[in-house]
Structure 1
Amino acid sequence: MFRLWGKEFKDNRMIRDTVICDDSDDTRTHKIFHALEAICYEFDLSKPIWLDSTIQEFQRHSKTRFTQDHFVDSIDFDYLEIQVIEE
């Protein structure tokens, strides 16, 4: 079971979160992209842009943050954090 935890933070407080579960036979990368898409749909956000630093951080720690620089639209929180909690 693959689970990805998505959290929105503002002023160092978590304002909302969700966990997306995926039991499919897809690759890890596809599961991450599908879960991130589901998180953005649930939070009513545009999909963030993966920068090189974001990719490297996610590969090292299975966790990364998306700030205003990663979104085309303006956001009303400080950052969106995603973290793999089970593989």
Structure 2
Amino acid sequence: MFRLWARTFQDNHMLRDACISDDSQDTRTHKIFRALDEVCYQFDLPRPIWLDKTIAEFRRHNKARFTRDNFVESIDFDYLEIQVIEED
């Protein structure tokens, strides 16, 4: 079981969250991208861009923050945070 938790924050207050599960036998990378796509669909967000800083943070902590710099379109919150909370 693979689970990814996503949350949006504004002024250090959580606005909304979602937990995405994936039981497929796909690679970890594919599961992460698919879960992020599902989060963006549920929250009605544009897909964020993975900057080098974001990739390094995710590799180090299994957690990443997507700020306004990661989005091409404007967003109505401070950042989107994703975190892997369970892996097979």
TM-score range, shorter chain: over 0.9
Q: Which residue of 2 aligns with 1:76?
A: 76
TM-score normalised to structure 2 length: 0.98
Give unpaired runs (5+ residues) of structure 2.
none
Q: Which runs of 4+ in 1 moved over 3 A?
A: none
TM-score normalised to structure 1 length: 0.99
State the Cα RMSD in Å.
0.3
Equivalent position SS for 1:16: strand
Report the CA distance between 1:48 and its aligned residue.
0.1
Cα distance per residue 1:8-62 (max 9 Å; x no partner) = 0001000000000000000000000000000000000010000011001101100
Number of residues of Structure 1 aligned to a counterpart in Structure 2: 87
**Identity among equivalent pairs (%):** 71
Give unpaired runs (5+ residues) of structure 1.
none
